[in-house]
C-alpha cells in the first residue's frame, strides 16, 4: 500500500512516499507549475500533492521522522531505513556509492566515477545522481563539480548549500 507524508524540515517541506513500509521517494513537493515549493513570508508553502502517491499518512514510516529529527539535531550521520527506490542497475550502483561519501564531505562526479571503477563515467554518474529519488537519505547533495562548485540539485542550489553547511557544522560535534 502506497502512502505519502509531508514533513516540515529546516530546508522546507519534503514529501516522503512509502510503499509497503519502505521509502521509495523523499524530496521537495512540486509546485502547481511543476517546479519547487514557493516561498511566502519566509516560509515554504507546501503545494497540493499530485495524484498517484497514495493517501496522505503523516505517521507513515515513523523511523524516517525520528531519523530526520536526529539528522537536524546533528546526532545522526547515516540513515538506516528500508529503501525501495526504483532505478536501473547502474542507478542503484551509483546510489549505493553515494552512501559511502562521509558525512560532512563532498566528492566530485569524477571522484565518484573513479570510486565505482569507471573513471571516465562522470557524466553517467551525474545523470544517475540527478535521478536519486530518496534525496537526503541517499546523500546526492554531497556531490559537487570538479572545481568544488555546487552543481544541480532537485531542491535547488540554496538547499544543497544549506545541507552541506549543516553537515560541515555538525560533523565534529
pLDDT in tens, 111-131: 999 999 999 999 999 999 999
Note the pLDDT of residue 100: 96
pLDDT per residue as tens digits for the range 35-92: 434 333 334 444 455 566 888 888 888 999 999 999 999 999 999 999 999 999 999 9
Is the model more confident about 101 or about 40? 101
Strand pairing category for 143-144 and 107-108: parallel
Cβ–Cβ under 8 Å, residues 26 and 38: no
Full set of structural domains in the chain with CATH: 2-73 (3.30.160), 89-170 (1.10.10.10)
Q: Give the separation between CA 13 and CA 107, rounded to whole angstroms.
A: 26
The predicted model scores a pTM of: 0.85
φ/ψ of 22, rounded to 5, equals -115, 145
Angle at 71 between CA 143 and CA 47, to 5 degrees: 80
| Residues in CB range of 109: below 8 A, 6 or more apart | 122, 123, 125, 126, 129, 143, 145, 146, 151
Note the pLDDT of residue 119: 95
- For the record, the C-alpha cell of 169 comes out as 557544522
Note the pLDDT of residue 47: 45
| Residues in CB range of 173: below 8 A, 6 or more apart | 74
The total of other beta-carbon atoms located within 10 Å of residue 20's CB is 10
Percent of the chain with pLDDT over 70: 86
Q: Which helix (H) or strand (E) covers residue 22, if one does?
A: strand 22-27
Active-site positions read 140
Amino acid at each position: 500500500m502506497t502512502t505519502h507524508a509531508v514533513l516540515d524540515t529546516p530546508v522546507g517541506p519534503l514529501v516522503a512516499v512509502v510503499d509497503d513500509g519502505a521509502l521509495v521517494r523523499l524530496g521537495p513537493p512540486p509546485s502547481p507549475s511543476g517546479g519547487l515549493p514557493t516561498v511566502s513570508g519566509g516560509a515554504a508553502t507546501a503545494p497540493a500533492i499530485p495524484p498517484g502517491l497514495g493517501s496522505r499518512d503523516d505517521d507513515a514510516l515513523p523511523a524516517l521522522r525520528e531519523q530526520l529529527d536526529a539528522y537536524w539535531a546533528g546526532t545522526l550521520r547515516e540513515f538506516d531505513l528500508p529503501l525501495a527506490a526504483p532505478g536501473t542497475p547502474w542507478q542503484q550502483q551509483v546510489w549505493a556509492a553515494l552512501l559511502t561519501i562521509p558525512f560532512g564531505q563532498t566528492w566530485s562526479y569524477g571522484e565518484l566515477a573513479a570510486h565505482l571503477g569507471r573513471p571516465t563515467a562522470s557524466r553517467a554518474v551525474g545523470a544517475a545522481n540527478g535521478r536519486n529519488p530518496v534525496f537526503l537519505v541517499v546523500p546526492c547533495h554531497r556531490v559537487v563539480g570538479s572545481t568544488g562548485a555546487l552543481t544541480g540539485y532537485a531542491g535547488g542550489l540554496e538547499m544543497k548549500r544549506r545541507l552541506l553547511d549543516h553537515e560541515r557544522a555538525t560533523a565534529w560535534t
